[in-house]
Amino acid sequence: MILNLRIFSQFNSDCYTASDNLLNSFAAKLELETWTNGVYLLPESLRTAIVAINELPITDDTL
């Protein structure tokens, strides 16, 4: 099953991001040892992540 979350906080008129409140409500955590900045893993039982695309590094892999 794929869940498409569109619950974001607007911090200016052109950009949305995953807010701290949203990330905390899902117990989402950064694991920078295995994932890049912008990928927040949810608890293991959910087997999913929230990706804040505006926080991803600008590289060929994230375009």
H-helix or E-strand spanning residue 30: strand 29-30
Helix residue spans in the chain (DSSP H):
20-25
pTM of the model: 0.70
Rounded to an integer, what is the distance from CA 56 to the centroid of its chain?
Answer: 9
The mean predicted confidence, pLDDT, of the chain is 78
In which band, very low, low, confident or very high, does the pLDDT at 14 lie, cut at 50, 70 and 90? Answer: low
pLDDT score, position 56: 86
For range 8-30, the mean pLDDT? 73
